[in-house]
Each structure stands twice: as C-alpha cells, then as structure tokens.
Amino acid sequence: MIAEVDAAALTTTEAASLIRSGGLGAEDYAAALLARAERLDDLNAIIAIDRQAVLAAAREVDLSRRRDASSLGPLAGIPLLVKDNIDTASLPTTAGCRGLAGNWPRRNAAVLDSLLGAGALVFAKANMHELAMGITNNNGSFGAVRNPYDRHMIPGGSSGGTAAGIAARIAPAGLGSDTGGSVRIPASLCGIAGLRPTVRRYAGAGVVPLSHTRDTIGPMARTVADVALLDAVITGTAVPAPARLAGLRLGLVRDPYWRELDGETDAVMREALERLTSLGVVLVEADLPELYMLQAQVGLGMTRYETIIDLLSYLAEAANGITLDEVASGIGSPDVAASLRAARGDAAPTAAVYDTTMKILRPRLQRLYAEYFIVHRVDAIVLPTTPLPARPIGEDETVRLNGREVPTFQTFIRNTACGSTAGIPGLSLPAGLTRSGLPVGLGLDGAAGSDKLLLSIALAIEAEFGPLPAPTI
C-alpha cells in the first residue's frame, strides 16, 4: 500500500509511469487518494463520488497490466476530477445546480472519452460556480469551495472544485471548462496550471453550455508538463518540447493588462519578468488600449444571447425531462439567478444586436489580436492571469483592490475575458506566492491555433521557475 502523503506527492506523469512499470498499483493509488479526499472533505471540492466504482476501475488497470503491460495507455490508472458541467455516464451532471439533480447523461463528453480511452479514471465530479456563471465558486446549492492555501479564501471559478482538488493533491489532474477565464482564474488562485485551448480545438459535445462561441473544456494539473500530456492525449498529438527562452519574444501589454494590479500581485509579477529577461526573453512593449472597451461591447451580450439557446439545446439533447424553468427555480446562488433572469428578460440582447456582434465587433477583436502577433513579431503575450490574488469567501459583489471597492466578477476576469471572446488559447502557470502565502498566476496568451507553442513556452518557464510549495493541509 502507498501512503496518502506519498500518493499526493506524485504528479500525473510520475504516477502514470509508476503504474505502467508495476512500481505502483493503480488500486493502491486510488485508495490513498480516496482517503485523502475524505480527510479533506471540508474543502468542499467534490459534488459526487462513487468510491467503489473508482476502486473497481483502478483494479481493472492492475489486471490489464498483469496481462499485458504494453497495452496500457499513457494515462492508465490516473484519477481525474471532472467539473460537474462535463457529462459523465457514471455520475450525474448537475452543473452545480439542484435544478439539474436528475440529469444523468447517457454518455461521456467526447473529451473525457478520449482521456478514459488512454486509461484515466473518473475520480469524482468537482464542485463549481453554479451553471458556470461566476468566478468565486461560492455555490448556493452545494456550498462554497475553499482554497487549500487558505480555507477562508475563494479558489476562483467557475472550475474552482477542480482547481482546489488538484492543488490539495486529492487528484493529480482534471478537467474544467472556460468561457471567460474559468480554467485560468482558479488555476492562478490555487497555484496550478490550466490551459484554455483555441476554441474548437477540442470537441465541445457533452458540456452544460454557456456560450457555444466561447465555451471550451480545458485540462488542469499541478504542472504544465501534465497539462501538456492531457492535451496531447485529447488531440492525438505529441507532447511538445520546451521552447528555447533565449531570444523568445513575449508581448508586454502594459495597457491594459498591467494597469492597477494589487500590490502583492505586482511584486510577484515584476520578479517573474525580471527572471524571464535574465533568461534571455525579449519583452516587447506594445499596448492595446482599446482592448477592454471592445471586449465590453462583445463579451457579455454575446454570452447572454447564446446562453438560453444553448441551455435549451442541451436539455433537449439530454432528453432528461428537465425544463429550463425547473433549472431556473433550482438555482441556489443569487448572482446566478440574476444572470439567468437577465438572459431571459426584456433587457436580453436582441437578434439584431447579436448579429452585429458576431459579424462586426467580434471579428474586429480577433483582428486586433491577430495583427498584434504579426506586427510585433511576438510568440505570446505575458500577463498577470488575475490582477489580484484570492479574496475572502462571501465577497461576491465587490472586493477591495488598492484601497477601493471594485466589482468582484469584472475585476477577476479582466485579463482573461478578452482572449476568451476572441477564441485564442490562453494558459496560466504558477509564478509565486504573495507574502501571505497566496498563489499568483503568470498568464500567456497566444495567436489562434498556437496551442503547442504556448505549451512549449510554458514548459520552458516552468523548468526555470519550479513548482510552488504545496499548501499546508
């Protein structure tokens, strides 16, 4: 038997290698992580789990290895936390909402199937911000998720349960979804790595939707190397080699990404930039002052228009007998109830406004990014994933930033929403800890389709920066 502490210390890559070689039993590994999940239940990272099913699936991996070790996939025996808006045939998919409690999918999401085909196991369904409509993960239906680095703080969202569970070493990796920052924000606040791929790079079927234009599943893990492994399995491609940092050109968009940062976030990010330049990275300073204004014209209206259409389509496809009214009446989070009312009410965007958004405004935003990468010859943009670290649970409407109250949602998504709306890839990896011990994420945005380059750059940075200290839990 492997001890809980030893199982928790293993990365995805390390655990998979040990299981394939026979140095670690998949069932022993799963049992140790199940014990850890039970001990850390107060983090509230998990919505649903079937212990016996996890052990049985792990046992099958061990049997397969004894029969023919060469048949094992690259993720054999790896338990995954799956955000609860991603369909699983073995557990219900509620999207963190009591109104979807009876939603038991007939099949797995396509992306999850590719990982299970490589030998991974569904460990549990992870808690999330209800219906993925927020970033605090203060869920009124299933309770707030707590940040492993400080239980009084939010983990970020909406994929907060996945991020908190991975950071707490309950599972080595998992899946989130990202519409405006929902993989990268919790990755940043919990000190792990998370990738938002170029839109349409991954199959989108089998996810409770917010916006078909912006939604995508994203892999999350403690290391970029593990995220790259998950991405390679999902896409059927090779894991990229680390980039050469000397001579690498990274865009530094001070206006708007680096404006008004929290003091401790600013200190960590300044040190990160100094380390990058000492490694030979060339920081190309060029601003995009119109970016936030253009995002404000495109993002929210587009999402609100698509939310109702996409939810109705999901419910019809699921054939679970649940109506949109029943979903709405089952919402436990006041902010989410208000967002859904806004999407359904008289003030919702009209078809004409949506048409203008999709034909004129969003293409303008996409061109702005595309031209930036070409004109300034940069390989990626470097930015603070969020302008501030985790804030206390319960500060759902406003948070304090540099002595003044600012809107919680809009502030935390400030640096992630623009790229999401444009459909470009983005990644967050750990940059360091604040003086109070809270993680800060370094963000990278790439040109559309440059996912492998982005991972390659992040792999090289990770090799130099090293991992964060584990939370003391």
pLDDT in tens, 319-359: 999 999 999 999 999 999 999 999 998 878 899 999 999 99
SS3 211: coil
Report the C-alpha gap between 357 and 359 in whole angstroms: 6
3-state secondary structure of 127: coil
Evaluate whether 221 touches 192 at the Cβ level (below 8 Å).
yes
In degrees rounded to 5, what are phi and psi of residue 198? Answer: -50, 135
In angstroms, the CA 34 to CA 46 distance is: 11
Confidence of residue 87 (pLDDT cuts 50, 70, 90): very high
Q: Give residue 59's pLDDT band: very low, low, confident or very high (50, 70, 90).
A: very high
Q: Which residue has the tokens 């919402």?
A: 331
pLDDT of residue 300: 82
Give dist(CA 454, CA 452) in Å, integer: 5
22-31 pLDDT per residue, tens:
999 999 999 9
**Pick the catalytic residue: 114, 141, 158, 159?**
158
pLDDT digits (tens, 9 = 90+) for 365-386: 999 999 999 999 999 999 999 9
Q: Is 344 exposed, middle or buried (0-12, 13-18, 19+ CB in 10 A)?
A: middle
pLDDT > 90? residue 393 = yes
d(CA 112, CA 234): 8
Do residues 284 and 250 lie in contact, with contact meaning Cβ atoms separated by under 8 Å? yes
CA-to-CA separations, 425 to 123, 139, 352, in angstroms, rounded: 27, 28, 29
The whole model's pTM is what?
0.97
Q: In the predicted model, what is the mean pLDDT of residues 221-228?
A: 98
Looking at 244-253, 337-346, 381-390, 399-408, which range is the least confident one?
Answer: 337-346
Q: What is the CATH number of the domain that holds 353?
A: 3.90.1300.10
For 206, left (φ over 0), alpha (ψ -120 to 50), or beta?
Answer: left
In the prediction, which pLDDT does 346 show? 81
Residue 473 lies in a domain: no
Closest CA to 174 of 88, 249, 270, 67: 88
Q: Find the catalytic residue in 83, 125, 211, 420.
A: 83
Number of domains the chain contains: 1
pLDDT of residue 221: 98
Q: What is the per-residue pLDDT across 310-324, written as a single tens digit (0 to 9) for each?
A: 999 999 999 999 999
For residues 120-140, average pLDDT: 98
Residue 7 has pLDDT above 90, yes or no: yes
For residue 472, being part of any structural domain is answered with: no
Read off the pLDDT band of 299 (50, 70, 90): confident
Residues 6+ apart with CB under 8 A from 359: none
Exactly one of 114, 177, 182, 428 is catalytic; name it. 182
Alpha-carbon span 401 to 339, nearest angstrom: 24
Give the integer Cα–Cα distance in Å for 283 and 349.
40
pLDDT higher than threshold 90 for residue 222: yes
Residue 471 lies in a domain: no
Going from the C-alpha of 76 to that of each of 17, 27, 180, the distances in angstroms are: 9, 11, 32
Give me the mean pLDDT over the 197-217 stretch.
Answer: 97
114 is catalytic: no
| Residue 298: inside a domain | yes
pLDDT at 347: 78
Q: How many CB atoms lie under 10 A from the CB of residue 246? A: 10
Q: Does 453 fall in a domain? A: yes
470 lies in a domain? no
Q: What percentage of residues in the chain have a pLDDT greater than 70?
A: 100
Cβ atoms of 427 and 196 within 8 Å: the answer is: yes
User: What are the contacts of 228-233 at 24+ separation with CB within 8 A?
Assistant: 228/455, 228/458, 228/459, 229/12, 229/13, 229/16, 229/74, 229/75, 230/12, 230/75, 230/115, 230/173, 231/195, 231/197, 231/451, 231/455, 232/74, 233/73, 233/74, 233/75, 233/114, 233/115, 233/118
Reference 167, options 368, 438, 463, 448; nearest CA is 438
Which of 9, 445, 465, 467 has its CA nearest to residue 195?
445
Reply yes or no on whether 71 is catalytic: no
Mean pLDDT of the chain: 97
Q: Which domain holds residue 109?
A: 4-465
**159 noted as active-site residue:** no
Specify the pLDDT at position 301: 85
Q: Cβ atoms within 10 A of the Cβ of 371, count?
A: 11
pLDDT at 1 over 90: no
